Structure 1
């Protein structure tokens, strides 16, 4: 698993559009419990723990995709480390509607407006790396190790 680097000044903002009446919004703190529950149910406790770093701050660095008043996807930045994008996830039944791409671009655009020139996408496997390379021009950082090397696995309560 390698880290990827994305130049934020070259984003294609037209990729923020979704299909299927899905709205992307920055998370507001009263919706944080619903987001954590969505992630625990559809993804993992690890990602739920990671997302808390993005949502429990005065200006949350998390976005949600909403359809029919329900959370159907999420993305965050500055969660595990400053300058890092992720985690991101979309309800499996709604994949293919450009929701993940839109969440990615909304988040990266927010990072640009927060003063970042680049974003790191950490610990990406090869299959997922191709999505980031194709969608936002990510490149592989050819170095050993990453911020996740100090993660103690299995400590989720």
Structure 2
């Protein structure tokens, strides 16, 4: 998997998508707070991976937390982290399969990238990208040449 570069000065306006999620799906996109740390990390472990939960854990070391979640009532539907594994990196991110196609991922992505822009970055790196075409279409990200050997190259994985 390669890394991608995204220009933060040209992010799409997601106000309509976020408003739609709130009004029609009752989904709130927010930064979690400290008392929610174990809930969010456990959810990520259960639905994605322990490695990703470790990155979420790092997100909680910052105030405000370097993570957004999508929440309906007491249920988490998706998450997106930034600047957890490395400075100026977006990810990891994930949305429950049952909730995909509603723009949750797009809103989480753009809000996270916008937070990186507010931190002073003009560009951001999306690390170890799986769905290249999604990021190209959504935020006009471009693949970084020769980035196959990324920061994740020798990542230890938890035994199953």
Return the TM-score normalized by structure 1: 0.91
Task: State the secondary structure of the residue aligned to 2:128.
Answer: strand
Deviates more, 1:93-102 or 1:14-23: 14-23
Instruction: List runs of 5+ in structure 2 lacking aligned partners.
Output: none
| Distance 1:149-1:43 versus aligned 2 partners, 3 A rule | same
1:54 matched to 2:59? The reply is yes
- 1:101-148 Cα offsets, whole Å, 9 max, x none, are 1000110011111111111011113xx111000000000000242111
- 1:50-92 Cα offsets, whole Å, 9 max, x none, are 2111112232110111102221111010010000000001112
Q: Is the 8 A contact 1:73 1:88 kept in 2?
A: yes
| Match among 88, 91, 97 for residue 93 of structure 2 | 88
Q: Is the 8 A contact 2:31 2:64 kept in 1?
A: no
| Distance 1:78-1:30 versus aligned 2 partners, 3 A rule | same
Q: Is the 8 A contact 2:83 2:90 kept in 1?
A: yes
- The alignment covers a number of residue pairs equal to 154
1:112 matched to 2:113? The reply is no
| Distance 1:58-1:64 versus aligned 2 partners, 3 A rule | same
Task: State the secondary structure of the residue aligned to 1:2.
Answer: coil
Return the TM-score normalized by structure 2: 0.89
Instruction: List runs of 5+ in structure 1 lacking aligned partners.
Output: none
Structure-2 residue corresponding to 1:139: 142
RMSD: 1.6
Distance (Å, rounded) in 1 between the aligned partners of 2:96 and 2:154: 29
